[in-house]
Amino acid sequence: MNETKKNKRIAIITGASAGLGSEFAKQIENRFFLDEVWLVARRMAPMQEISERFMKAKGILLSLDLTNEGDLLKLKQKIEVESPDIQILVNNAGFGKIGAFSEISLEEQLQMIDLNIRSLTFISHICEKYMNKGSAIIQVASSIGFCPSPYFTVYAATKAYVVSFSDALGYELKNKGIHVMAVCPGPVKTEFFNVAQGTKASGSTIDDEPFNDRLSATADAVVEQALNDLIHKKRYSIYSMIIKIFAYFIPFVPRALAMKILALRK
């Protein structure tokens, strides 16, 4: 008698070459029973190192630029052909730029929207069809997504989308047993701010280091809490009490005042 072939159980992690993405790859592999972990990012070399050191031959490396329509379609095709049982999707790929809206190039602003919103939506839509009861979607947002932020104008708006999208999608998928959680940290010690500050125009009205280092968390701590919160089916994962207080109270502060506070120099 032939046994029914089971679809392989996988996790998909975007932005997996560094920062939170690489930490999700390491910790998910250790904490969940999976046949494969698909790592998706532009840079192949860092993903190879992560796979060789932590994946125990489970790492499937996909060098894709998620702002590119053709690369998104390649990922879609691979999922459709292999028809895996997607246990966990981590939509982590994203970037931000610090500076006045008029000082950051239009190309970079639109790339932020493409990566932080469009690709996240595209991948969520593809993967949901291959997820079953007990599966989970982790959308990496930011605490800044709870309030407009001058000099982080487009980035904050994209993360507001992620928070809202995660809430509504979680509501829709609840009856299917698929849990959706938004990860909303404050500043995290990754290469994010190197990218964010890399092309800041001279004459900007914000400091070179706009976030107090005492508020910064490490990527491993943020991911560890996120996976613990996922097990407890929390809607948001917010690291540190200070950031939790900020996220809870900032929606009750008049927006004009909140933006004035966020725009202040250190």
d(CA 241, CA 231): 20
pLDDT digits (tens, 9 = 90+) for 119-150: 999 999 999 999 999 999 999 999 999 999 99
Neighbours of 248 (CB within 10 A): 12
Give yes or no for a contact between 21 and 46, defined as CB atoms under 8 angstroms apart.
no
Q: How confident is the model at residue 239 (pLDDT cuts 50, 70, 90)?
A: very high
Cα 15 to the center of its chain, rounded Å: 8
Indicate the CATH number for domain 9-263: 3.40.50.720
Going from N- to C-terminal start, the domains of the chain cover 9-263
74-113: per-residue pLDDT in tens? 999 999 999 999 999 999 999 999 999 999 999 999 999 9
With 90 as the cut, is the pLDDT of residue 191 above it?
Answer: no
Handedness of CA 249, 255, 261, 262 (dihedral sign): positive
Evaluate if residue 65 carries a pLDDT over 50. yes
Sign, CA torsion 251/257/261/264:
positive
pLDDT confidence of residue 263 = 84
